Structure 1
Amino acid sequence: MKRDSGKMDKRSAASDPASDAPSAQAAFASYAAPLVDHAIELAHAVREDTSPEALHKLRVSLRRLRSLWWAFEPLLEKGENTRQRALYKYLATAAGQTRDWDILIELLAHEDSGASGMAPKLQDARGGALAISRETLLNADVKHLLREALTDTSKELNTAHERVPLRKFATRRVDASERSLKKRMKHAGRAKRSNYAAFHDVRKAGKKLRYLLDFFEPVLNDNRKRTIKRLKQIQKRFGALNDVVASEGLLRDHAASLAGSADTEAALHWLKQERKRRMRCAAGLLRKQ
């Protein structure tokens, strides 16, 4: 594929010699267009490539689009922006259904999980989820939906009377996102270990800030390398926790269809213990921040 994040276009837009102070409105398309193109490529590829990695890449691409529209939310009509972000969430969820089974299968492949006998039924469930994911994405006409979203949002921004300098706008949005992350980390640090929602909020806030830095770092005045390093740690630790929590929920939700597998209870017990372990690891990281 030609590009996976649009960074080349983004840097060129941010350093355009023809404009000392490009506006956020004018720069939007240089961020959004490469992401839209990449998501369309991935959606098309998933029709042929059923691997876990292909679906994961598509889900990440759609999440990046959702984060970009969130970043430009202050410049957009609220209702339309909410609709567009809901669209990206819907498509990402469709792609993620199969990915969730892949994560569960990978976790239970651990030799201590006691779930070796579940493999055939888990693969069957994964196959069913894949069929639904592909049908949903095909029927959604992803190419048309994403092109339309890009056109409509670009038009709204380009016809706005007010212009906000890109650097000022980017700094303001990144700072707001960083404050949100710190607030959620503080709350999670005081929460009980059983309060997974507080930990999940940290993960979501960290992911959003990471995406915004991916978009805007080249135009920011200050160096955010330390922040990015911290975010990578959060994503890794809290992502590992989320994998177990989501897998435990998925297995419980489909326990009936897995009836007859003697390993179901053993798998749930192992996931519960693993969740507790990863919760301790996540809490430990919070204390170091």
Structure 2
Amino acid sequence: MQASRKVGKQAADREPAEAEQSAEAAFASYAAPLVDAAIEHANEVHEDASPEALHKLRVSLRRLRSLWWAFEPLLEKGGNTRQRALYKYLATAAGKTRDWDILIALIAGNERIAPELSPQLQAVRGDALATSRETLSNAGVKRLLQDALSSASKELNTAHERVPLQTFVEQRVAASERSLKKRIKRASRAKRSNYTAFHDVRKAGKKVRYLLEFFEPVLSGNHKRVLKRLKRIQKRFGTLNDIVASEMLLRDNVDLLAGSGDTDAALRWFRKERKRRMRAAAGLLRKL
């Protein structure tokens, strides 16, 4: 599923200065908007309790993590690893509440599951939101992200060597595509019960998609077809992930929900739906 490397109209229309820019010099132009967006979404979470606010924050942090991965060969290895771990930690903090939102939505939209569960789920979700907000507030997201941007920019701007931006991003996109292909092959051979292999495809697909979205103006060729395939993967495997994560969340919190509804019926439905979604994901893999 490797993207085309032929020079098309998009490459011909590229600004000369952009094509000749070094990867080191271009880093801040990619990172700064992502940092600003993540800070903005982190602030919104403290004012807006909606599922959408949390989702935007988690996505912005995932995009930052992918960008730091892209520039990994040019950054000090230890610092880059720590920074990506930080983004993952912050995304997980937001994700704990987001996971409850997904579970609530799935149960609310299913007539087979007793609606008595919903009020108790909302209460637990409220507690999770308070914890997410506290974690993000204590972390000092704005300072952490601005310091990360400043440190990485300084490191790259003082580097002795310079790598042409186009050459660099072509190599990094190709590396992400190879990783995705490897994970697709592994998942295709895995047993249906091996959800981790399917989840790895989803994560690798997201990384390729983010990199193509970051660097599309610089890359040669047209990547619309590749992006379309990646969106199919993300949709199919994202639905599977929602089912698996919700089932696990419900199973891990059965005691909290005792007496609020028929959790056994809900778990039976999730188990059945997980198997159906696994078959659908495996079917898509055979077509890739």
**Shorter-chain TM-score tier:** over 0.9
Q: Does the aligned pair in 1 maintain the 2:115–2:261 contact within 8 Å?
A: no
Instruction: Report the TM-score when normalising by structure 1.
Output: 0.93
Q: Does the aligned pair in 2 maintain the 1:174–1:213 contact within 8 Å?
A: yes
Q: Which residue of 1 aligns with 2:110?
A: 111
- Determine which structure has greater relative contact order: mean sequence separation of CA pairs < 8 Å that are 6+ residues apart, divided by chain length: 2
CA distance in 2 between counterparts of 1:80 and 1:154 reads 13
CA distance in 2 between counterparts of 1:282 and 1:218 reads 31
- Tell me by how many angstroms 1:15 deviates: 5.3
CA distance in 2 between counterparts of 1:277 and 1:175 reads 33
RMSD: 1.5
Distance 1:19 1:107, change over 3 A: closer
- Tell me by how many angstroms 1:260 deviates: 1.9
Q: Does the aligned pair in 1 maintain the 2:23–2:165 contact within 8 Å?
A: yes
CA distance in 2 between counterparts of 1:166 and 1:158 reads 14
TM alignment of 1:88-99, pairs within 5 A? 88-99=87-98
CA distance in 2 between counterparts of 1:113 and 1:29 reads 51
Q: What secondary structure, in the 3-state scheme, does the structure 2 residue paired with 1:157 have? A: helix
Q: What secondary structure, in the 3-state scheme, does the structure 2 residue paired with 1:258 have? A: coil
Deviations 1:3-34 (A, max 9, x none): xxxxxxxx9xx956556511100000000000
Unaligned runs of 5+ in 1: 1-10
Deviations 1:138-194 (A, max 9, x none): 111111000000000000111111111110010000011111111111111111111
The AA in structure 1 aligned to 2:238 is G
Q: Does the aligned pair in 2 maintain the 1:109–1:115 contact within 8 Å?
A: no
Q: Which residue of 2 aligns with 1:8?
A: none
Distance 1:189 1:27, change over 3 A: same
Q: Which residue of 2 aligns with 1:26?
A: 25
Q: Which residue of 2 aligns with 1:190?
A: 189
Runs of 4+ displaced beyond 3 Å: 14-20
Q: Which residue of 2 aligns with 1:7?
A: none
Distance 1:268 1:219, change over 3 A: same
Q: Which residue of 2 aligns with 1:121?
A: 120
Distance 1:132 1:162, change over 3 A: same
Deviations 1:224-250 (A, max 9, x none): 111101000000000000000000111
User: 38-47 vs 253-262, which deviates more?
Assistant: 253-262
User: 17-26 vs 240-249, which deviates more?
Assistant: 17-26
Q: What secondary structure, in the 3-state scheme, does the structure 1 residue paired with 2:110 have? A: coil
User: Does residue 159 of structure 2 align to residue 160 of structure 1?
Assistant: yes
Q: Which residue of 2 aligns with 1:286?
A: 285
Instruction: Report the TM-score when normalising by structure 2.
Output: 0.93
Q: Does the aligned pair in 2 maintain the 1:178–1:209 contact within 8 Å?
A: yes
User: Does residue 168 of structure 2 align to residue 150 of structure 1?
Assistant: no
User: Does residue 65 of structure 2 align to residue 42 of structure 1?
Assistant: no
CA distance in 2 between counterparts of 1:90 and 1:20 reads 35
CA distance in 1 between counterparts of 2:17 and 2:209 reads 29
